[in-house]
Chain A
Amino acid sequence: MTDGLHAITVTINGEARPLRVAPSRTLLDVLRTELGLTGTKKGCDVGDCGACTVLLDGTPVNACLVLAVEADGAAVTTIEGIAPAAGQLHPLQQSFMDLGASQCGFCTPGIIVMAKALLDRHPDPSEEDIRFGLAGNICRCTGYTKIIEAVKDAARRLAAAPPPAGR
């Protein structure tokens, strides 16, 4: 690491990705720039908005608050890795489309990833659970009404037909 870069390996959406990154670089910047995974959004870069939510070993984190080197050896799931297979949608994605839970869409990837983490833990969440689960995700467009409906709808779909294990 004579160039000051650290060699790390992160499993991104199921694929091991060797990377060389500066120690100060956030996981968010590495995802968006080095890896071209621009679905994860930057709304504030300081942990206040949730637009950058990804799963780190299954736990939702603000990627802007995680240094890429901290993710060395971990598994990261982004919005691009939520669907069970190419050409298919995760029930959350389908419900968000069907019920109009996405307007400008800038908060949507972070909210869907956060909602997935919620449903992974609570397959049958109450409205309060959903509101609490999304408490750190800012949406300025929707008033949350349709987002909450969509998460409930996805929970119903998942209960009816659990998808094959995601990536």
Chain B
Amino acid sequence: MTSVIGRSVTRWDTLGKVTGSAVYAGDVALPGLLHGKIKRSTVAHARIRAIDASRALALPGVRAVLTHADVPRVLHYGSPHPRSASVTKDQYILDTTVRYHGEGVAAVAADSEEIAEAALELITVDYEPLPALLTVADALAPGAPAIHAVGPGGNLVLDPVVVTRGDVAAGFAAADLIVEGTYTLGRPVPAYMEPNVCVCQWDALGKLTIWTSTQSPFMVRGTLAEVLGLPLTKVRVLVDHMGGGFGAKQDLFQHEFLCALLAQRTGRPVRMEFSRKETFLGGRTRHSGSIRLKQGFRRDGTITAREAEIVFDSGAYGSHGPGVTAVATASLTSLYRCDNVHLVGRCVYTNTPIAGAFRGYGVVQSYYALDSQMDEAAEQLGLDPAALKLMNAVRDGDLAPSGHPIVGHGLEDCIRRGLEETGWAARRAAPKSHDTGRRRRGWGMGCEMHGSSAYPGIKEQGNAIVRMNEDGTVTLFTGTTGLGTGAHTALAQITAEELGVRFEDVAVVHGDTDVVPWDIGAFASHTTYMAGRACQMAAAQVKAKVLARAADRLEVAADDLDIRDGVVTVRGVPGLSLTVADAIAAERGIPAPQLVGEDSYRPTKSYSFAAHFVEVEVDTETGQIDVVQVVPVHEIGKVIHPVAAAGQIEGGIQQGIGHTLTEDFRVDPRDGRPLNASFVDYKMPLAMDMPPIRTIILETAPDEGGPFGAKGVGEDPIIAIGPAIANAVHDAIGVRFRHYPITPEQVLAALAEKGATPTPGAADQPDQTDQ
């Protein structure tokens, strides 16, 4: 049979997307729909003395106003992986204290958006200002006021994460070279295209239905139920299509609660949709902060010791701070082998926008530091950075950050393949012309590894229900969310392959918490890996049932049967076969019993690997850095859908280029007011900026825990690109940047300091030596 694994079948979710018929939460129209809006704080830290909503309530067309006095006061996990160590319980729906500029303080429902917006202006809030702690240094200063009453104190989100292996002091003592640096991390935002939105409606029996754009519908259900005091049977969460999330849309963003309560109070359905500005203000960012990293090396390149101190800025709430800090800290045990490590990670509350989960989950930051420093160490050791990375690359049997053994030699394979593809050795050997020419080119490489699944931080499970219908077609029920990755198509491919039916005969039901099996959410690069494996297991059960029935009909042993393309065949007996539909057809008028398989898969951990090779061109007159080309090499075990996998890689690279060169959500250092909360002021790489990307996917280290050996790919591509660019910039102009984003002004300043501005009249030609 032609295998559907590894084939880029047409994703079944795209027809609606290209025709405009796909329904996103904001497209839901209901009779009597009201429009909700959130009043947001204009100060970074204050106690609310009083809120006067009387004038807003008097405005014709306003149906309800909610302030902290009107909503349940229940402390909740803003990011709801219930009671996992990855998140914090530090939020109220509306509090009497505001902790960042843009926090919701009241909400309105009105007949139109215009009226709701006008009503917001009529609400007056009397703030008693509190000192705004806008940097980690402010928040950690002795005597700094506490932003939260919960947590370990000292404005820490959690107790410091400490990871120690071996003997660091001995390791440094044995080193011939010590390299140390502090890396400063910008504050990029996910900038998903669909602003946060939900629609809420209550029925006569007191059941809430919410259409919402979330990656984790069951977490939304659980949190709404807990905070609103409802049983799970009275909350139904619907997600059909969603316009991106990139990790951030695991959280609840205040509006889900407020929309539900406004709908309850008015007895009408209510829609609440963020403006683009609100997605910046009330959204989630990547954790900014700093990483001090110190490594010892022997002359031959062996790493003898690694010490790191990570300090992340959590912003006003904890969200995923604990998980991100733990993952980032543990990640520095690995990638490049080192027996002696001492790593400390801290996460600190400040009065700035909330940092949360975002593709790469702390590892974008940690490997930016680690991989950049490896490049620097190679230079000082007089080695090719690729050679240094290759000799230290983690391999089969090494301990991964999660504590599990690494399977295979994925990282080495990625590096070697990339070296071949880019002709790296010849490029390195070519003479550089650092000191002349306006436009200078350079190559860099960056490496990464990332786990498929959030285990052990979050104890996850993937679930699936597979049902065969009377005509032999198959319905797959999955609780995973269709984030845009094509994961549902991959799940259908896995189900079809395992069961032996055609891909076209598998339909996917998703997006309704009343119907589909429980799911923790679509994140952590785990959907294909974990839910995919559950689909495979459930499909195998159905297959066994079909074969048992076919065995009766064909009067052969079930063990001798197999299913291919929807036809049951007998091994060694070419003429004898039966379609699946015939095999399960009614017998003497009695229909087949339910042909349902269901299973749960509890993953351990599996790592995917990548090495990115990048060419940049630096304009020494403007400071502009252009990425000229990218050759990403990824090892992901087994490719289920090559086009979708490549799409993940290309999109991750786009975001990573943005992180490294232009994206930084900034707040005013004086008062915490966001400075660039729009797509014009927050600069992302677009069609004109994106370089050609030549994606290479390897299947050299399959994981036996994943379906057909598959591992995750969603997060990996955003990680390796950053250090690859920074290293390429160094190759081009000889300047080592230890932060992101690297702006044109900084390039010019660094060149001026180095005395390396172009000679006037020098040829206005790119440095072509690498071509």
A interface residues (Cβ-Cβ under 8 A, vs B) = 24, 32-33, 36-46, 48-49, 51, 78-80, 83, 89, 92-93, 96-100, 102-109, 112, 130-132, 134-135, 137-148
Query: What are 12 residue pairs bridging A and B, where the CB atoms are less than 8 Å apart in the complex?
Result: A48-B678, A48-B679, A49-B193, A93-B19, A104-B244, A105-B16, A106-B192, A109-B20, A139-B193, A141-B193, A141-B244, A143-B654
Q: Mark B233-268, 1 if CB is under 8 A from A, else 0.
A: 000000001111010000000000000000000000
Pick from B29, B114, B653, B678: contact of A44, CB below 8 A: B678
Pick from B14, B15, B193, B690: contact of A43, CB below 8 A: B193
Q: Are A102 and B14 closer than 8 Å at their CB atoms?
A: yes
Cα of A104 to Cα of B276 in the assembled complex, Å: 17
Q: Which of B624-681 contact A (CB under 8 A)?
A: 643-644, 646-647, 650-655, 678-680
**Contacts A36-B29, A42-B26, A135-B688: A104 and B20 contacting too (C-beta < 8 A)?**
no
Q: What bracket does the count of chain B residues touching chain A fall in?
A: 35 or more
Q: Are A143 and B653 closer than 8 Å at their CB atoms?
A: yes
Chain A residues, Cβ within 8 Å of B20: 37-40, 78-80, 109
**What's the nearest-Cβ distance from chain A to residue B117, in Å?**
12
Cα of A89 to Cα of B647 in the assembled complex, Å: 23
Cα of A30 to Cα of B20 in the assembled complex, Å: 16
Cα of A135 to Cα of B650 in the assembled complex, Å: 18
Q: Are B27 and A97 closer than 8 Å at their CB atoms?
A: no
**What's the nearest-Cβ distance from chain B to residue A34, in Å?**
11
**What's the nearest-Cβ distance from chain B to residue A148, in Å?**
7
**Contacts A48-B678, A140-B655: A43 and B194 contacting too (C-beta < 8 A)?**
yes
Pick from A24, A106, A132, A144: contact of B243, CB below 8 A: A106
The stretch that binds A, out of B339-347, B483-491, B551-559, is B483-491
Cα of A154 to Cα of B467 in the assembled complex, Å: 38
Q: Are B16 and A100 closer than 8 Å at their CB atoms?
A: no
**What's the nearest-Cβ distance from chain B to residue A125, in Å?**
12
Q: Are A106 and B24 closer than 8 Å at their CB atoms?
A: yes
**What's the nearest-Cβ distance from chain A to residue B722, in Å?**
15
**What's the nearest-Cβ distance from chain B to residue A83, in Å?**
7
10 tightest Cβ-Cβ pairs between the two chains A and B: A39-B20, A104-B484, A105-B17, A106-B243, A143-B650, A79-B20, A38-B27, A100-B643, A143-B654, A48-B679
Nearest A residue (CB) for B658 = A140
Q: Are A103 and B485 closer than 8 Å at their CB atoms?
A: yes
Q: Is the interface of A mostly helix, strand, loop or mixed?
A: loop
**Contacts A131-B687, A141-B647: A51 and B193 contacting too (C-beta < 8 A)?**
yes
Q: Are A107 and B193 closer than 8 Å at their CB atoms?
A: yes
The stretch that binds A, out of B5-13, B62-70, B80-88, B146-154, is B5-13
Q: Are A104 and B650 closer than 8 Å at their CB atoms?
A: no
Q: Are A45 and B194 closer than 8 Å at their CB atoms?
A: no
Chain A residues, Cβ within 8 Å of B690: 131, 143-145
Chain A residues, Cβ within 8 Å of B653: 143
**Contacts A48-B679, A144-B654: A104 and B192 contacting too (C-beta < 8 A)?**
yes
Q: Are A96 and B14 closer than 8 Å at their CB atoms?
A: yes
Nearest A residue (CB) for B243 = A106
Q: Are A104 and B647 closer than 8 Å at their CB atoms?
A: no
Chain B residues, Cβ within 8 Å of A140: 190-193, 244, 246, 651, 654-655, 684
Q: Are A39 and B21 closer than 8 Å at their CB atoms?
A: yes
Nearest A residue (CB) for B652 = A143
Q: Are B651 and A142 closer than 8 Å at their CB atoms?
A: yes
**Contacts A104-B192, A104-B243, A140-B191: A97 and B651 contacting too (C-beta < 8 A)?**
no
Q: Are A146 and B647 closer than 8 Å at their CB atoms?
A: yes
Q: Are A138 and B684 closer than 8 Å at their CB atoms?
A: yes
B315 within 8 A of A: no
**What's the nearest-Cβ distance from chain A to residue B236, in Å?**
22
Chain B residues, Cβ within 8 Å of A40: 20
Q: Are B19 and A138 closer than 8 Å at their CB atoms?
A: no
B275 within 8 A of A: yes
Chain A residues, Cβ within 8 Å of B26: 38, 42
**Contacts A105-B13, A140-B192, A141-B651: A93 and B18 contacting too (C-beta < 8 A)?**
yes
